[in-house]
Chains A and B, each alone.
Chain A
């Protein structure tokens, strides 16, 4: 059997700042198979985006991958040269960024930015590259792509720009797409369309997708599996329906409680008390301890990342089970 599209094993990415070492990603592991969608969920600053950039090898100094492995189709990306990585990026592994207003170069035309991507990885004529660019724009639902190719980014709306960015990501039919909150900056109707297209793409072409978001409702409808991150660590992982129905980690419980729901009309939303801790000086033991309603003395020891039920992992010494309803 061929290896899964992406395996991340014990990934650690740290930032060496003047104020100290920031453990932005600290021991993260997950697997994404062909055609599967992994929802990577967490609050701002939990290390989701850095995980995404680490996969593509795009962590800028003072950040550095200090440990673990990123296996892409069985190959350890850390062993590849910068040039070999460049050939993978945009070709086999593509990325979509959060803010569509910032991802396209304002002084270059859309066709320039698309054609250069085609030519970076394929030996084709300019005309052929242009044709591919046009087809890709049509594929993401941009009307009259031929004319739009000659436009500049500022002539597009935010939703349109994100479609262009997605079209660029799709140009080489990648095996893996890392989407970093791609719908956060868009309004809900556009978000729905883009989610539907993403799902269709994975089902049709077998592309594996990592969808980074802080929005549980997006993950609920889109992902197959979910990994919840907190303070640089994955605290819970499993099939999306099971995790959302019966979360094991108190943080996941808190996240789900923060989402408005029709079942709890009239009740105030349950917030998670406190703030995300500074990654510079995390408390020893469980990082969620200070905000956890179930914290006790034993939580000062680092909790293991254990499989509590088949396929269900959590980093907590007293996971919510049957004992406590979410």
Chain B
């Protein structure tokens, strides 16, 4: 296990290094921030002073090395727009996105697993067919449209839930969280539901497919021949087997949700990272873009590691070995 973790850490470092280069080059290719940041009325001297101040006068490889050297000291650069450290800017927004993603994933599991289980155990029941049809809707309806519909029905017409913002927050561990207050939670319901729609459908489908496959296995029949209760067979023998694919997909989806919940955050004006990155791209705020992508890379590496470890807990045949 220790060898495995050490190897994983080294691999992660390599991935981060390569990613930083790619991100840096990619962001450089998008466009020149000078055109946007500096007023067109500014004269040549002002322009050059500004360019030098931003470090944009150096050749690209030098810019990269400077960035790398600072990054190693935990400094991912200052935002051109806000003139604040990019990292700090992102970390401020992170709790909002994080709690939204966790909420959406929890909803997906809490709704998706039981529905998928039911649909898998009674594949011919009308309710199961309804669940399946519903999951197709969940896959196909565009997120922004569902979000707007939610707002129209529950905020505008019924007036049950607030439509925008995070609501009241409390500060824990130096970060602001919405889910700890009643008002904040009410603000979270709709965005979290909206974000979870696709994931719920995914979990339903995965669970249903897994259950149907597992129920045919000899070990399930043997469990019945042992005289076990149906509940024990379903929740121990079948459930533990289907969790393996579900954990993989939900893990990756979770990462995707944090990184790319842009649409939902925009619709509900949720002040998270997704909105920040879109704004930064619009004004070509390079340090923020780079810092954001680096954080996302780190996050995916961490999630993959957690998924692998969970695997080894669920499936005894998977051993985390140092050798590949």
For residue B182, CB closer than 8 A to chain A, the reply is: no
- B236 to chain A: which residues have CB within 8 Å? 108, 112, 116
- Considering only CB atoms, which chain A residue lies closest to B237 in the complex? A105
For residue B323, CB closer than 8 A to chain A, the reply is: no
| Contact assessment for B316 and A117 in the assembled complex, using a CB-CB cutoff below 8 Å | no
- A97 to chain B: which residues have CB within 8 Å? 218, 221-222, 225
Question: B222, B316, B317: which has the most chain A beta carbons within 10 Å?
Answer: B222
- Considering only CB atoms, which chain B residue lies closest to A102 in the complex? B218
- A165 to chain B: which residues have CB within 8 Å? 222
- A89 to chain B: which residues have CB within 8 Å? 224-227
Known: A106-B316, A116-B232, A154-B317. A90 touches B241 (CB 8 A): no
- A120 to chain B: which residues have CB within 8 Å? 226-229, 232
From A60, A103, A112, A154, B222 is in contact (CB under 8 Å) with A103
Known: A154-B316, A154-B317. A106 touches B219 (CB 8 A): yes
Q: How far is the CA of A254 from the CA of B283 in the complex (A)?
A: 86
Interface flags for B15-26 (1: CB within 8 Å of A; 0: not) read: 000000000000
Known: A154-B316, A154-B317. A105 touches B219 (CB 8 A): yes
| Contact assessment for A95 and B225 in the assembled complex, using a CB-CB cutoff below 8 Å | yes
- B217 to chain A: which residues have CB within 8 Å? 102
Known: A102-B217, A103-B218. A86 touches B317 (CB 8 A): no
For residue B48, CB closer than 8 A to chain A, the reply is: no
For residue A201, CB closer than 8 A to chain B, the reply is: no
- A116 to chain B: which residues have CB within 8 Å? 226, 228, 232, 236
Q: How far is the CA of A89 from the CA of B228 in the complex (A)?
A: 8
Q: How far is the CA of A95 from the CA of B314 in the complex (A)?
A: 28
For residue B315, CB closer than 8 A to chain A, the reply is: yes
Q: Using a CB–CB distance below 8 Å, which chain A residues touch chain B? A: 56, 58, 60, 86-91, 94-95, 97, 99, 102-109, 112, 116-117, 120-121, 152, 154, 165, 168
| Contact assessment for B219 and A103 in the assembled complex, using a CB-CB cutoff below 8 Å | yes
From A58, A94, A99, B224 is in contact (CB under 8 Å) with A58
Q: How far is the CA of A165 from the CA of B219 in the complex (A)?
A: 10
For residue B240, CB closer than 8 A to chain A, the reply is: yes
- A56 to chain B: which residues have CB within 8 Å? 225
For residue B149, CB closer than 8 A to chain A, the reply is: no
Known: A58-B221, A97-B221, A102-B217. A108 touches B229 (CB 8 A): no
Instruction: Classify the interface of chain B: helix, strand, loop or mixed.
Output: helix
Closest 7 CB pairs of A and B: A90-B227, A102-B218, A90-B226, A89-B227, A152-B316, A95-B225, A105-B219
| Contact assessment for A102 and B219 in the assembled complex, using a CB-CB cutoff below 8 Å | yes
From B218, B232, B315, A99 is in contact (CB under 8 Å) with B218
Q: How far is the CA of A202 from the CA of B318 in the complex (A)?
A: 40
From A91, A107, A117, B241 is in contact (CB under 8 Å) with A107
| Contact assessment for A107 and B316 in the assembled complex, using a CB-CB cutoff below 8 Å | yes
For residue B6, CB closer than 8 A to chain A, the reply is: no
- A104 to chain B: which residues have CB within 8 Å? 219, 222
A154 to chain B, nearest CB (A): 5
For residue B91, CB closer than 8 A to chain A, the reply is: no
- A154 to chain B: which residues have CB within 8 Å? 316-317
| Contact assessment for B315 and A168 in the assembled complex, using a CB-CB cutoff below 8 Å | no
B320 to chain A, nearest CB (A): 15
A56 to chain B, nearest CB (A): 6
A324 to chain B, nearest CB (A): 42
Q: How far is the CA of A193 from the CA of B246 in the complex (A)?
A: 42
- Considering only CB atoms, which chain B residue lies closest to A121 in the complex? B227
Q: How far is the CA of A117 from the CA of B227 in the complex (A)?
A: 7
From B218, B221, B227, B240, A108 is in contact (CB under 8 Å) with B240
Known: A152-B317, A154-B316, A154-B317. A86 touches B227 (CB 8 A): yes
- Considering only CB atoms, which chain A residue lies closest to B243 in the complex? A107
- Considering only CB atoms, which chain B residue lies closest to A168 in the complex? B226
Q: How far is the CA of A109 from the CA of B124 in the complex (A)?
A: 33
- B232 to chain A: which residues have CB within 8 Å? 116, 120
| Contact assessment for A117 and B221 in the assembled complex, using a CB-CB cutoff below 8 Å | no
For residue B223, CB closer than 8 A to chain A, the reply is: yes
| Contact assessment for B314 and A107 in the assembled complex, using a CB-CB cutoff below 8 Å | yes
Q: How far is the CA of A154 from the CA of B316 in the complex (A)?
A: 8
Q: How far is the CA of A90 from the CA of B229 in the complex (A)?
A: 11
Interface flags for B278-294 (1: CB within 8 Å of A; 0: not) read: 00000000000000000
Question: B218, B227, B229: which has the most chain A beta carbons within 10 Å?
Answer: B227
B207 to chain A, nearest CB (A): 16
| Contact assessment for B237 and A117 in the assembled complex, using a CB-CB cutoff below 8 Å | no
| Contact assessment for A90 and B228 in the assembled complex, using a CB-CB cutoff below 8 Å | yes
A144 to chain B, nearest CB (A): 19
| Contact assessment for A87 and B218 in the assembled complex, using a CB-CB cutoff below 8 Å | no
| Contact assessment for A90 and B225 in the assembled complex, using a CB-CB cutoff below 8 Å | yes
- Considering only CB atoms, which chain A residue lies closest to B124 in the complex? A61
Question: B223, B241, B315: which has the most chain A beta carbons within 10 Å?
Answer: B223
B212 to chain A, nearest CB (A): 12
- A106 to chain B: which residues have CB within 8 Å? 219, 241, 315-317
> Which residues 72-103 of B have a CB within 8 angstroms of A?
none
> Which residues 131-173 of B have a CB within 8 angstroms of A?
none
Known: A102-B218, A154-B317, A165-B222. A91 touches B227 (CB 8 A): yes
Q: How far is the CA of A252 from the CA of B107 in the complex (A)?
A: 62
- A58 to chain B: which residues have CB within 8 Å? 221, 224-225
Q: How far is the CA of A198 from the CA of B224 in the complex (A)?
A: 22
Q: How far is the CA of A56 from the CA of B226 in the complex (A)?
A: 10
Q: How far is the CA of A304 from the CA of B228 in the complex (A)?
A: 41
| Contact assessment for A117 and B219 in the assembled complex, using a CB-CB cutoff below 8 Å | no
Q: How far is the CA of A91 from the CA of B225 in the complex (A)?
A: 9
